[in-house]
Amino acid sequence: MPFEQLQPMRDRFRAGGIPIFVEVDHVRSNETAIVPAAIVSRFNLPAHWYRIDVCLDEQFDEATRLFQDPGYSVQSPVDVEAFEKQMEELGANRPVSLRPSDKTLNVVVGAAIVAIVLLGALFLLATSPSFGSH
């Protein structure tokens, strides 16, 4: 679904007692994106398209009905807040980060700069005409 419809749909499912998981639809977002996806994710800009996943398989049919009809009354709602709290306690939905910490990056870049400077100095000393002659 497009970004503009996302919050009303989240509210509809929450009020209906159906926990959902929302994720960026990278395929659809890349079809229409003016801004490249890498920039969108780096600066936390809203993506253009999102996917809604129903968390509980047994609610899928009712979620489909609620998606199509905002007035549909869910027959088997759950306490969405309690569900989300339990999922958080279990560690679900934590963002996956493959990026090292800033401190680690600083150490790696600093070590690389020192290595380049030392190698450059050794190269200059080794190629200097006065090196080795007394």
The pLDDT score that the predictor gives to residue 33 is: 47
Say how far apart CA 59 and CA 70 lie, in whole Å. Answer: 16
DSSP one-letter code for 69: -
User: How many other CB atoms are found less than 10 A from the CB of residue 100?
Assistant: 11
Nearest-CA neighbor of 28 among 60, 63, 3, 61?
3
Percent of the chain with pLDDT over 70: 74
Greatest CA separation found in the chain? 95
Q: Model-level pTM?
A: 0.56
What residue ranges of the chain have pLDDT lower than 70? 27-47, 93-99, 130-134
Q: What is the DSSP letter of 96?
A: P
Q: Which of 27, 16, 83 is nearest to 55 (CA)?
A: 83
Per-residue model confidence (pLDDT) at position 32? 47
Length of the chain measured in residues? 134
pLDDT in tens, 99-131: 677 788 888 999 999 999 999 999 888 887 765
